[in-house]
Structure 1
């Protein structure tokens, strides 16, 4: 089962994914996609809160830009909780704000193929990005566009899609 879990900031989407993973009978691997950047104490605190909620027996994989090999190498019976797709997209933006379009497209296509082919169960956490106005800044526009298109492609591959708002899951696709 491939399950996309989306929602706004602080909607409870990661916590919902973690609750689903806790119910999994087999091994769970948490795939962290965020890049720790020096000097961002608030983001470091956010990562620490996520780490404190996870059971110690869950395996941890810190993914870089090449997320597809993680999914391709997963085994049947294993559950991968990938948190989150927006943080993964951020890995393709340089410190100067430049966007590696070619690298992103290559890795995005590889991820979608690996997701469709993996025998593992996968929970993908992402940000619902399309409910605001079109951003004025070019870098932010690229981020919003690319994440929105990625979310649509992931939703097509996934058998289940859940929107989380105010901590409450709403089934958009698949079994409730």
Structure 2
């Protein structure tokens, strides 16, 4: 099972995604992409830590996500990745176009080939107004393109708003 969970900030997507991966009955690895650059982000990271089971394995990787998923690729493994938009932000902030493209392509290949249960969390950022600056527009474009690509590679896609999951795709 490969499941993409989309939603806005504080939409309930993380809690929903955690429930989805927990029912697999397999050992769970939580792959976190966040980097805490300020106090607010540190609080958000801490809240995520408190809201997930202590027995889940944790891997923190802000950039080389494909490498991590390759190392976890097993039919006996359940993995949750939180979150793709933070991962894209980390890559965009490197200002290295070649690395960005390499990481995106490698990630899509490993998602397609992944054999275990995989729950991918990503923010939907395209529902608001057009961002005013170049970097914000680029981020929205990259996130939208990545979400579309991931949706094609997963058998389930769910949009979460106000804590309510709305199935967009359910292929079993």
- TM-score of the superposed pair, with normalisation by structure 2: 0.95
Aligned length: 171
- In 1, are the aligned partners of 2:65 and 2:103 still within 8 Å (CA)? yes
Stretches of structure 2 that go unaligned for 5 or more consecutive residues are: none
Which moved further from structure 2: 16-25 or 147-156?
Answer: 16-25
2:163 is aligned to 167
Structure whose residues are more often helix by fraction: 2
2:122 is aligned to 126
1:15 is aligned to 15
Establish whether residue 140 from structure 1 lines up as the match of residue 122 from structure 2: no
Stretches of structure 1 that go unaligned for 5 or more consecutive residues are: none
How many angstroms apart in 1 are the aligned matches of 2:158 and 2:95? 29
- Identify the match of residue 100 of structure 1 among 81, 85, 96: 96
Establish whether residue 149 from structure 1 lines up as the match of residue 148 from structure 2: no
Q: Please list, as runs of the form range in 1=range in 2, the aligned pairs for 1:8-87 lying within 5 A after superposition.
A: 8-37=8-37, 40-74=38-72, 75-87=74-86
How many angstroms apart in 1 are the aligned matches of 2:99 and 2:80? 23
How many angstroms apart in 1 are the aligned matches of 2:15 and 2:163? 8
- TM-score of the superposed pair, with normalisation by structure 1: 0.93
Q: Secondary structure at the match of 1:130?
A: coil
How many angstroms apart in 1 are the aligned matches of 2:28 and 2:151? 22
